[in-house]
Amino acid sequence: MARSIKVIQDSINTMLVSEMAAIGIVIDPAVWSVTDIRRLMTHIFASESFVLESLFDTTRSDVDAIIKTLKPHRLQWYAQKAKLYQHGYALSFEGTEYDNTGISDADVAASQIVTYSAVVEQENAYGRVSLRIKLATDNGDDLAALTTPQLSGASEYLNRVKDAGVKLIVESLPADYLKMSWEIRYDPLILDAQGARLDGTDSDPVGNAIREYIKNLATTQFNGLYILASHVDAVQAVEGVRIPTILGAQTKYGNRDYESVNVLYNPDAGYLRIYDDTDLQITYIPQSGS
């Protein structure tokens, strides 16, 4: 980690005092004025060293990130590889890479339809391990499942570039269902009985915050754990909300029945969605006083 300019300058000064003392010259950096040429020179050297050390830190971070994402046989390698799929383009370079010679960056970006990916190991009843790869795209407003042709192409691509002997299960599913009921104790100086801001700037700040948290969780931590306590914390940050309480939360995926969430939940599709307005019930109770 890069040292601060002051730490570097103090180190230079200590070495300078020692070296000068070795030839019989006594100096005291503590008494140098702000315009003393020696003080200015050591500050310049310290500043240059700080920039160099910061560049080393950045380079090391970049190299570590590349190694982490590109090292074969790791789950994250498959997740990163999935995002490189180009819909409608053929593989070259021995069937593992794309040759984008003559193709504009804009066209390459448009063809890379996999925006989110996650990989988990799973074991069947016979002890056979496979990699389940979850994929999703971005429809502009939210995450969405790949279309059938898109999923077919991505699956074929991943099965061509995978390591020999690795079994893949490639999926792109609609978001898991989420139904919730909340009790919001609010400041009547900020919100009204329907949860709208009194200044008219937002008719549903609490509902928007609830939905925004779910969306942000998916985009920042695709296939991450949905944690009730973290959701409460996000709603607590809404101006005018005094005490937010989740009265109940239920989730399901596919055609399964709803199940209650007591602490946390790992979405089967990798992300959640409140599909209907009726799936989010909010009761507002005024909370007067400071």
Whether 112 and 162 map to the same domain: the answer is yes
Q: Give residues with Cβ within 8 angstroms of 249, minimum separation 6.
A: 178, 179, 180, 181, 228, 260, 261
Whether 138 and 81 map to the same domain: the answer is yes
Please count the structural domains in the chain.
Answer: 3
Q: Which residues, in sequence order, are bridge partners of residue 96?
A: none
Whether 52 and 109 map to the same domain: the answer is no
This prediction has a pTM of 0.70
Per-residue pLDDT of the chain (290 residues; tens, 9 = 90+): 788 988 888 888 888 888 888 888 888 888 888 888 888 888 898 899 889 988 988 888 888 777 766 656 789 999 999 999 999 999 986 778 898 999 999 999 999 999 999 999 988 888 888 999 999 999 888 899 999 999 999 999 999 999 888 999 999 999 999 999 999 999 999 999 999 999 999 999 999 999 999 999 999 999 999 999 999 999 999 999 999 999 999 999 988 999 999 999 999 999 999 999 999 999 999 998 76
Task: For residues 134 and 117, give the distance between their C-alpha atoms in angstroms, rounded to a whole number.
Answer: 5
Whether 249 and 160 map to the same domain: the answer is no
Whether 219 and 249 map to the same domain: the answer is yes
Whether 195 and 218 map to the same domain: the answer is yes
Whether 279 and 187 map to the same domain: the answer is yes
Structural domain boundaries enclosing 94: 75-171
Whether 192 and 162 map to the same domain: the answer is no
CB atoms within 10 A of CB 154: 24
Single residue among 40, 70, 100 that ends a domain in this structure: 70
Single residue among 171, 205, 240 that ends a domain in this structure: 171
Q: Look at the alpha carbons of 239, 265, 78, 84 in this order and tell me if their dihedral is positive or negative.
A: negative
Whether 121 and 135 map to the same domain: the answer is yes
Whether 153 and 219 map to the same domain: the answer is no
Single residue among 14, 40, 70 that ends a domain in this structure: 70
Whether 216 and 259 map to the same domain: the answer is yes
Whether 166 and 202 map to the same domain: the answer is no
